[in-house]
């Protein structure tokens, strides 16, 4: 069983690879899938800010491209200050999470905030919306 400390270490390691010449913000994310694998990602900024990829989405793309597995058990987001994921990342996470997926937001001081995905992103727009039209 993979513990939160291991997930945190993967997120911190990913943050060290962040390409953030504009904001100087280094963000790392690590995803634990329901089948026990970890995928990590970092933010990659671009001078055309809309082309920037956040760490959470980077980790999700790794998950899909490397395994095709699409079920998230936990997401760890690490920033120096402990920022939560942006709205776009919350929407992308919702594609692969359940309401009970654990979201952990950590900072450099070791403080962590644990919450279910349903609390982070209530009333998420999901694939079920298409089925109910």
Write the pLDDT tens digit of every residue in 3-55: 999 999 999 999 999 999 999 999 999 999 999 999 999 999 999 999 999 99
Query: Considering the entire predicted model, what is its pTM?
Result: 0.94
Largest CA distance in the chain: 46
Strand partners, 38: 32
Q: From the candidates 45, 56, 102, 108, which is the catalytic residue?
A: 56
Distances (CA, A) of 35 to 9, 65, 82, 99, 110: 19, 16, 27, 18, 27
Query: Is position 42 annotated in a ligand binding site?
Result: no
The question of whether 56 is a catalytic residue gets the answer: yes
C-alpha separations of 34 from 11, 31, 63, 79, 108 in Å = 18, 10, 11, 24, 27
- Give the tokens for residue 91: 């929407």
88-131 pLDDT, tens digit each: 999 999 999 999 999 999 999 999 999 999 999 998 888 777 77
């Amino acid at each position: 069983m993979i513990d939160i400390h291991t997930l945190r270490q993967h997120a911190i390691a990913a943050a060290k690879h962040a390409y953030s010449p504009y904001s100087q913000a280094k963000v790392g994310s690590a995803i634990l899938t329901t089948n026990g694998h970890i995928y990590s990602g970092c933010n990659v900024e671009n001078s055309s800010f809309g082309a920037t990829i956040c760490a959470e989405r980077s980790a999700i793309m790794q998950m899909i491209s490397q395994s095709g597995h699409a079920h998230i058990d936990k997401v760890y987001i690490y920033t120096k200050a402990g920022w939560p994921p942006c709205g776009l990342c919350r929407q992308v996470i919702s594609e692969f999470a359940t309401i009970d997926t654990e979201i952990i937001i950590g900072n450099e001081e070791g403080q962590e905030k644990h919450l279910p995905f349903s609390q982070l992103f209530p009333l998420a727009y999901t694939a079920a919306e298409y089925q109910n039209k």
